[in-house]
Structure 1
Amino acid sequence: MTVIEARGLRKEFTITRSLGRLRRSKRVLAAVDGVDLTVCEGELLGYLGPNGAGKSTTIKMFTGVLTPTSGHLRVCGLEPVPQRTRLTRQIGVVFGQRSQLWWDLPLRESFELARHIWRVPAVEHAARLRMLRSRLDLDAFLDTPVRQLSLGQRMRGDLTVALLHAPRVLFLDEPSIGLDVVSKQAVRAFLTELRDAGDTTVVLTTHDLADIERLCRRLVVIDHGHVVHDGTLADLHARYGSRRRVIVDFEAPPTTSLDLPGVSVESRDGAQVTFSIDGTVTTAGALVARLPELGSIRDLTVTEPAIEDVIAQLYASPAEAAPRA
């Protein structure tokens, strides 16, 4: 079932510039320009883009904060702005730099206030809170005032508040920003469980590419208001010619070479040879099987292409030159 459907979605802003004491010039800027996007129930979608690409503007239109200039948009079958009250009962939102928790109250009381705001029945609230307390390991600081919580603890509390009313769609805007390694791992583990359960659709915007690699099976990249990629991470690597590398330490420098399609020698450093595989014909396994022909192997490492390099290459390309997904 489709929970988010956008066709030709566009949002314009008018920018006024002073040309003197009395003169002003106006320019119309399209922050989002013709986005077509369909998100199905249970998906965990990674939504990427450089600063100013239109990510946050898109999310604000999805949640009813901003009115689209033009285009068709439905979230949970509703128009976000005209039916915002009904929509808020079906979505949850977490912004990494803002909190929905009450600063001077213990975390437990923030959850109780959220129950009344969302009008969740007490029995249902208790059952869902019990599950979230277990998965997010909240018990140690439930009675601590929010102002005394660490950033990682507050983020886990915000995730809990956003999910207490069992939303169909959860929007996460930079949920791991500023978190330490341990807190990031805890949030990622929880989101992995949420994705695998398939009960909640998640739209994740982030600059942390490790989040994308570990969590998202589908990746949408937006740049200059246009969708420039919509597919899997593997599709993105294939589109931009990403290569896996096999780094081999031989007992002695090899004196012969291998002739395998799609495989090239990237570098040599004494007895260490780095092979590059484009993935079109030969697999890493096929290459490794042939390596003993070159000599005795001391050590071997297979490295995956870095998503950072691929995304940087995508951002560096003109948005209008990139094919629409």
Structure 2
Amino acid sequence: MAVTLAIDVHGLRKEFMVQKNREGLKGAVRDLFRREYNQVRAVKDISFQIPEGEICGYIGENGAGKSTTIKMLTGILVPTAGEIRVNGYIPYKEREKFVRGIGVVFGQRSQLWWDLGVVESFQLLKKVYRVEDADYRERLAELTDRLQLGELLNRPVRKLSLGQRMRCELAASLIHNPKILFLDEPTIGLDIVVKTEIREFLKSINQRFGTTILLTTHDLQDIEALCSRVIMLDDGRIIYDGGLEELKNRWGKGKEVILRFAQPASLQRLKELTAGLEVHWSLDNEMTAKVWIPQEQAGVSEVLGRVVNAVAIEDIKIIETTTDDIVREIYKSGSAETKPARETEVTLHG
């Protein structure tokens, strides 16, 4: 069965001309008459495909090219080179038809009118997207219920807290039931309770309506909670595109297990019990020990099986390598595979 693509990108590139300012008064005067520019390539010939109904995490450090890519995918920016199809449309060419099938949430920019009541913003968006009255009423009722907006609908947007506004922004982006939802830092600055509510809501609309979601975020707990696939950018290039579990397996260093014993245990005894497993023991005190289990060297169950049968244990805590740790390690090394050579900037005169 053929897979239908929601997003299809080939050789996508975006270059900007950035003015190069010379130092001092003399340099400023020269800039008035003869400016120099650096050609900066923000996105460097990337290709990827996202099937309908997938939730994909699009991650990278500041300046990696994430937001530039999202702006091209949503038709805000025109690519320098390459091909884009989103819902079958070329975003920057077929704007009117294209925008009816997408929803966008930029965490630090609002699509709501600041001084209007929330529901008035929704009514304006209804007209922009040409949503039928019956569909709008049904959709608004569901979003109000799911995102707990009842008390917020008549408040001016400027009087909402950040968490309240983000719930309203999500509702605004979904009022026309788009096939694809682009989320750029949707949980930035929110407390853990609101973040959890938003994650659960996003999972539910994906499952119910098959909504495709492309999520950019610095909060890797968003990725863990929502995404099965991750695309990772560095310096405008894709350095990893694959499953989240595969990424963990490839880059996870191992697990640390903390054991609290019912009776004193010696380091020598613990090492004897796990001989041949290539694990590393350390003793905090005679009642508490830590064992480091390297990735692919031994299983936690095998180590615990040997110890539990010989020593009485009161408590066990397993600490895994987190996604944050893995991503930090990848960026430190430069690549999930191999580090591509960075391009030099080209100086142009104009």
Where does residue 10 of structure 2 map in the other structure?
7
Deviation at 1:178, TM superposition (A): 1.4
Q: By how many angstroms is 1:314 displaced?
A: 1.3
**Cα deviation digits, residues 63-88 of structure 1 (max 9, x gap):** 01111111121111111111122111
Equivalent pair of 1:260/1:282 in contact (CA under 8 Å):
no
Q: Give the Cα–Cα distance (whole angstroms) in 2 for the partners of residues 230 and 259 of structure 1.
A: 38
How far residue 152 of structure 1 moved from its aligned partner, in angstroms, is: 0.8
Q: 1:259 aligns with which of 262, 275, 279?
A: 275
Give, in angstroms, the shift of residue 303 of structure 1: 1.9
Contact 2:107 2:185 in 1 (8 A): yes
Code of the aligned partner of 1:240: W
Equivalent-residue separation in structure 2 for 1:144 and 1:52 (angstroms) = 36
Aligned residues: 323
Q: Secondary structure at the match of 1:11?
A: strand
Within the candidate set 272, 285, 289, 2:301 is matched to 285
CA shift digits 1:247-269 (9 cap, x unpaired): 111221233220354x5125321
RMSD over aligned Cα atoms: 1.9
Partner SS, residue 151 of structure 2 = helix
Per the normalisation by structure 2, the TM-score is 0.87
Counterpart AA for 2:16: F
**Partner of 1:31: helix, strand, or coil?**
strand
**Partner-residue secondary structure (3-state), 1:139:** coil
1:17 matched to 2:20:
yes
Name the amino acid aligned to 2:334.
P
- Distance, in Å, in 2 between the alignment partners of 1:266 and 1:139 is 55
Instruction: Say which of 248, 266, 284 aligns to 1:269.
Output: 284
Residues of 2 paired with 1:304 and 1:129: CA distance?
Answer: 42
Of the structure 1 ranges 206-215 and 19-28, higher mean CA displacement relative to structure 2 is found in: 19-28
Which one-letter code corresponds to 2:69 in the other structure? Answer: T
- 4+ residue segments displaced more than 6 Å: none
1:56-67 matches, cutoff 5 A: 56-67=67-78
Q: CA deviation at 1:245?
A: 2.0
Q: What whole-Å deviation, never above 9, does each CA across 1:159-202 have from its counterpart, x for those lacking one?
A: 01100111111001111111122221221121121233352101
TM-score (norm 1): 0.93
1:224/1:319 contact within 8 Å kept: no
Percent same amino acid at aligned positions? Answer: 41
Residue-by-residue CA offset, 1:111-168 (whole Å, 9 max, x unaligned): 1221111110011111111111111111122222212111111111110110011111
Distance 2:200 2:85 in 1: 30
Contact 1:265–1:273 (Cα < 8 Å) also in 2? no
Q: Residue 228 of structure 1: CA displacement?
A: 0.9
Name structure 2 gaps, 5 residues minimum: 341-350
Cα gap change, 1:323 to 1:316, in 2 (>3 Å): closer
> Aligned-pair distance for 1:16?
2.1
CA distance in 1, matches of 2:248, 2:317: 20
Equivalent residue number for residue 188 of structure 1:
199
**Aligned match of 2:313:** 297
The separation in 1 between residues aligned to 2:207 and 2:293, in whole angstroms, is 31
- 1:252 is aligned with what amino acid? P
Q: Which amino acid aligns with 2:116?
A: L
Structure with greater Cα Rg = 2
